[in-house]
């Protein structure tokens, strides 16, 4: 059988030949890739020469090229364009991959050589990036069990293999739950309040799901979000909100409650074996936050600042709902609805007023123009680059001199084969191979409303900021200039990775930026200055409650990982206790957050969800620099590119930040921007 993974890709820029890759290629390719990696590791271990940086650390860092290629394609498509067969393959693929990587990280002979180089590090004339690689290599082994006795190593192996399987099962359950639910509406009167574009999209969904002539709403956020925000029928808002809250926690075969309890217990047990009190202690050792007390300090400090504003805001929403519709108890399915109505009354603005100015294609073009103004980048559509789905758009990225910088894949619409949310990923990481700079292949994956027969894809302002956010991650990957793949691009401390993404959101609030792309899709009229001003003045409306919502996720995450979870019996009781101090609305009976909280149980954010708030501190402080000098000031942009975007994880993030900004980040910038100071 001809397997595209077995040879170099003959595509432009070595792009993944998605049109040639079939499901039957993955497991044979994985087996061969593991075999190749093991041979490379064996050559390092049996080298008769004394261990050096070049023959040990560098050789180890550059091993496993084929394995990275195969696993990168498989797991990216398993998230963005999966099928039942891939789900079955994953059950075999993930444990095999975990076992192979663990066999290496727990290899005593290999670690012995790495340790020998590490112990002489002060006498080696290494660059900053080489020193980071050496320290990271040593810590990666030490933190994952290389110093353990054989029996303990076996325990870690078993735990990791089980965790990899549980994480996939968790994600599979959430995807199936999301795809299965549908709210079928037969009476047109029940659509009252919903924007025309949302109604039209629901009719298309109904046809796709076999309900011709009706309207179907789903738990995809592009369907669910507008429904609970605009539908006047309170009973239907409640119905879909209850369905969303009960995702993967209904006591059936797709219930994730036992899975997440098992994941938390295994993570805790693994941390204990490795000598850490909790999983959070293990994780935070390699974060800017360093320890759990610092995380709780940040979250509680922000809670104290946000709570007065949040209480005032919720009271205002309650009074408004009561006066308008006699609502005596404001429920979760009421909040977005009355929030949007009150916002419109106070500021004469709502999402539907803004949508016509945010045609998806125009926003994408606007983001590209921002990248050109700041970093001299150009994006050209390439129709000769294979893609994994017809909706994907492929671009070549070049610099001001016309040099190739990266490939960029844009995948913007929801489908049953794609998980919900928005993310950036890579099919190839930037690195130096000999004297050749291997440029990256980056993707942004989102779930925006598809065009209808009468309207293009029109984004809400929140979706515009999401697009800017993910593109910021994309720039981090595209502009990387590192020698080693494991330090390139977004391979940074987890609580630093959101800085490039979150800072990009700031441009979406600036008239100078909006004038580049925010044009009415029918008339071509630029977004009026007064509408932009309303966006800015209303930006902090509900910020206190918005902050509490983010803090609730951060605290829930830490509640699972900063203490021994073995005594958690009821997930519902656990969530109640973890979030009660930051919750101002009633919980939905029987509804849970944890069972669909993919960030922490399947997405790498365990004991790290707080990083979104930490990154807000960073991005607010960093954007003040741009505001002082001009939002398209190339000197500031150059500093940001050279010290943040190009450096990846090659040096400590605080050092890089200070080189860019001139000082450590200050929380006051965030509080000022949020109107909480």
661 shares a domain with 551: yes
List the one residue out of 110, 130, 135, 137 whose CA is nearest residue 51.
110
Helix or strand holding residue 432 (H, E): strand 431-433
For 101-147, the pLDDT digits (tens) are 999 999 999 999 999 999 999 999 999 999 999 999 999 999 989 99
Q: What confidence score (pLDDT) does residue 676 get?
A: 82
Work out the average pLDDT over 333-359.
95
Asked if the model's pLDDT at residue 668 lies above 90, the reply is: no
CB 4 within 8 A of CB 17: yes
Euclidean distance between CA atoms 638 and 644, whole angstroms:
10
525 shares a domain with 407: yes
593 shares a domain with 547: yes
Structure confidence at residue 214 as a pLDDT band (50, 70, 90): very high
Euclidean distance between CA atoms 547 and 541, whole angstroms:
11
For 525-553, the pLDDT digits (tens) are 999 999 999 998 999 999 999 999 999 99
What CATH number has the domain bearing residue 68? 1.20.1050.40
Euclidean distance between CA atoms 475 and 370, whole angstroms:
11
β 423-428/431-433 pair status: unpaired
Percent of the chain with pLDDT over 90: 93
CB 301 within 8 A of CB 666: no
Q: What confidence score (pLDDT) does residue 610 get?
A: 95
Helix or strand holding residue 164 (H, E): helix 150-180
478 shares a domain with 361: yes
Question: Active-site residue among 352, 470, 575, 646?
Answer: 470
**Domain boundary residue among 539, 564, 581?**
539
| Residue 351 in domain | no
| Residue 607 in domain | yes
Packing angle, helices 65-80 and 84-105, rounded to 10: 150
**Domain boundary residue among 539, 565, 589?**
539
CB 377 within 8 A of CB 405: yes
Euclidean distance between CA atoms 185 and 232, whole angstroms:
13
496 shares a domain with 360: yes
Query: 405: helix, coil or strand?
Result: strand
Domain count, the chain: 4
β 393-398/404-411 pair status: antiparallel
Euclidean distance between CA atoms 223 and 230, whole angstroms:
11
Residue 145: which region, alpha, beta or left (left: phi > 0; alpha: psi -120 to 50)?
Answer: left
Q: Which tokens belong to 5?
A: 């993974």
649 shares a domain with 567: yes
| Residue 124 in domain | yes
| Cα dihedral 234/448/505/637 (nearest 10) | 180
CA 292 and chain centroid, separation: 22
Q: Which tokens belong to 82?
A: 């999966």
Burial of 553: CB neighbours in 10 Å, binned 0-12, 13-18, 19+: buried
Q: In what order do the strands lie in the sheet with 378-381?
A: 378-381, 393-398, 404-411, 441-445, 423-428
Task: Look up 470 and say whether it is catalytic.
Answer: yes
Going from the C-alpha of 647 to that of each of 185, 252, 290, 475, 644, the distances in angstroms are 52, 47, 21, 12, 6
Work out the average pLDDT over 300-314.
95
For 611-620, the pLDDT digits (tens) are 999 999 999 9
| Residue 155 in domain | no
What CATH number has the domain bearing residue 441? 1.10.1370.40
214 shares a domain with 169: no
| Residue 18 in domain | yes
CB 406 within 8 A of CB 439: yes
What CATH number has the domain bearing residue 306? 1.10.1370.10
Q: Which tokens belong to 447?
A: 């779930």
Question: Integer distance in angstroms from the first to the last C-alpha of the chain?
Answer: 65
| Residue 286 in domain | yes
Mean pLDDT, the chain, as a whole number?
96
Asked if the model's pLDDT at residue 79 lies above 90, the reply is: yes
Helix or strand holding residue 217 (H, E): strand 215-217
Euclidean distance between CA atoms 290 and 496, whole angstroms:
12
Structure confidence at residue 420 as a pLDDT band (50, 70, 90): confident
Beta bridge partners of residue 526, listed in sequence order: 519
Euclidean distance between CA atoms 27 and 34, whole angstroms:
11
Question: Is the CA virtual torsion 463, 350, 415, 369 positive or negative?
Answer: negative
Work out the average pLDDT over 185-214.
95
For 396-407, the pLDDT digits (tens) are 999 999 999 999
| Residue 154 in domain | no
Q: Tell me the three-class secondary structure of 541-610, residue by residue.
A: CCHHHHHHHHHHHHHHHHHHHCCCHHHCCCHHHHHHHHHHHHCCCCCCCCCCCHHHCHHHHCCCCCCCCC
Neighbouring C-alpha atoms within 13 Å toward the C-beta of 40: 21
Which runs of E-coded beta strand occur in 246-343?
A: none
Euclidean distance between CA atoms 96 and 113, whole angstroms:
25
Asked if the model's pLDDT at residue 1 lies above 70, the reply is: no
Q: Which domain holds residue 667?
A: 162-173+256-346+540-677
List the one residue out of 667, 668, 647 whose CA is nearest residue 656.
647
189 shares a domain with 168: no
Structure confidence at residue 36 as a pLDDT band (50, 70, 90): very high
51: which DSSP letter? P
Euclidean distance between CA atoms 420 and 323, whole angstroms:
36
For 430-477, the pLDDT digits (tens) are 999 999 999 999 999 999 989 988 899 999 999 999 999 999 999 999
Euclidean distance between CA atoms 8 and 15, whole angstroms:
10
Sequence-distant (6+) residues with CB within 8 A of 160 are: 98, 102, 270
469 shares a domain with 426: yes
| Residue 250 in domain | no
Q: What confidence score (pLDDT) does residue 675 get?
A: 86
Work out the average pLDDT over 302-308.
94
Euclidean distance between CA atoms 195 and 191, whole angstroms:
9
188 shares a domain with 52: no
Sequence-distant (6+) residues with CB within 8 A of 88 are: none
Asked if the model's pLDDT at residue 217 lies above 70, the reply is: yes
Asked if the model's pLDDT at residue 40 lies above 70, the reply is: yes
Query: 409: helix, coil or strand?
Result: strand
Helix or strand holding residue 114 (H, E): helix 108-118
Euclidean distance between CA atoms 393 and 163, whole angstroms:
34
Helix or strand holding residue 441 (H, E): strand 441-445
CB 146 within 8 A of CB 104: no
Q: What confidence score (pLDDT) does residue 677 get?
A: 76
226 shares a domain with 201: yes
167 shares a domain with 25: no
**Domain boundary residue among 539, 574, 594?**
539
């Amino acid at each position: 059988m001809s397997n595209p993974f077995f040879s170099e890709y003959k595509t432009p820029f070595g792009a993944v030949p998605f049109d040639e890759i079939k499901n039957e290629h993955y497991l044979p390719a994985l087996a061969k890739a593991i075999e190749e990696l093991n041979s490379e590791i064996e050559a390092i271990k049996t080298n008769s020469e004394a261990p050096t940086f070049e023959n040990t650390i560098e050789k180890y860092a550059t091993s496993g090229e084929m394995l990275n290629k195969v696993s990168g394609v498989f797991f990216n498509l398993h998230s963005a364009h999966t099928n039942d067969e891939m789900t079955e393959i994953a059950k075999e693929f993930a444990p095999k991959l975990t076992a192979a990587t663990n066999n290496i990280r727990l290899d005593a002979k290999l670690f012995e050589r790495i340790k020998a180089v590490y112990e002489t590090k002060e006498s080696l004339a290494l660059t900053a990036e080489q020193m980071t690689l050496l320290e990271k290599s040593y810590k990666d082994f030490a933190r994952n069990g290389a110093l353990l006795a054989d029996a303990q190593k076996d325990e870690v192996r078993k735990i990791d293999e089980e965790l990899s399987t549980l994480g996939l099962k968790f994600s599979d359950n959430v995807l199936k739950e999301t795809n299965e639910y549908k709210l079928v509406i037969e009476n047109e009167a029940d659509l009252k309040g919903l924007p025309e574009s949302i109604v039209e999209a629901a009719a298309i969904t109904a046809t796709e799901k076999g309900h011709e002539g009706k309207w179907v709403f789903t738990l995809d956020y592009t369907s669910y979000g507008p429904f609970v925000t605009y539908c006047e029928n309170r009973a239907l808002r409640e119905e879909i909100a209850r369905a969303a809250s009960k995702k993967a926690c209904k006591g059936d075969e797709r219930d994730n409650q036992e899975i997440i309890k098992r994941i938390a217990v295994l993570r805790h047990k693994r941390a204990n074996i490795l000598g850490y009190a909790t999983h959070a202690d293990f994780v935070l050792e390699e974060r800017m936050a360093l320890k759990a007390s610092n995380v709780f300090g940040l979250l509680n400090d922000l809670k104290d600042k946000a709570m007065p504003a949040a209480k005032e805001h919720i009271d205002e929403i309650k009074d408004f709902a009561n006066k308008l519709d006699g609502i005596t108890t404001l429920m979760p399915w009421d909040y977005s609805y009355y929030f949007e109505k009150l916002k419109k009354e106070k500021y004469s603005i709502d999402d539907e007023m803004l949508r016509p100015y945010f045609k998806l294609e125009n926003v994408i073009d606007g983001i590209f123009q921002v990248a050109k103004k700041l970093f001299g980048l150009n994006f050209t559509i390439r129709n000769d680059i294979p893609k994994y789905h017809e909706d994907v758009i492929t671009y070549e990225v070049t610099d001001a001199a016309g040099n190739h910088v990266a490939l960029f894949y844009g995948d913007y619409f929801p489908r049953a084969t794609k998980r919900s949310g928005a993310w950036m990923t890579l099919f190839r990481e930037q690195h130096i191979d000999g004297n050749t700079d291997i440029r990256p292949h980056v993707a942004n994956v989102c779930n925006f409303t598809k065009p209808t027969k009468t309207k293009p894809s029109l984004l809400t302002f929140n979706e515009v900021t999401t697009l800017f956010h993910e593109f910021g991650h994309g720039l981090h990957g595209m502009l990387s200039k590192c020698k080693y793949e494991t330090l390139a691009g977004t391979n940074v401390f987890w609580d630093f990775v959101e800085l490039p993404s979150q800072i990009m959101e700031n441009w979406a609030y600036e008239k100078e930026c909006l004038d580049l792309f925010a044009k009415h899709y029918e008339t071509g009229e630029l977004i009026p200055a007064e509408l932009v001003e309303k966006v800015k003045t209303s930006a902090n409306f509900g910020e206190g409650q918005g902050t509490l919502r983010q803090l609730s996720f951060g605290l829930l995450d830490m509640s699972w990982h900063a203490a021994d979870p073995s005594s958690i019996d009821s997930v519902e009781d656990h969530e109640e206790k973890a979030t009660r101090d930051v919750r101002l609305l009633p919980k939905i009976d029987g509804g849970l957050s944890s069972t669909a909280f993919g960030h922490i149980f399947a997405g790498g954010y365990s004991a790290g969800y707080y990083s979104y708030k930490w990154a807000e501190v960073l991005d607010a402080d960093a954007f003040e620099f741009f505001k002082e000098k001009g939002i398209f000031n190339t000197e500031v942009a150059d500093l940001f590119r050279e010290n943040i975007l190009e450096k990846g994880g090659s040096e400590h993030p605080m050092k890089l930040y200070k080189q860019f900004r001139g000082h450590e980040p200050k929380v006051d910038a965030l509080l000022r921007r949020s109107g909480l100071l």
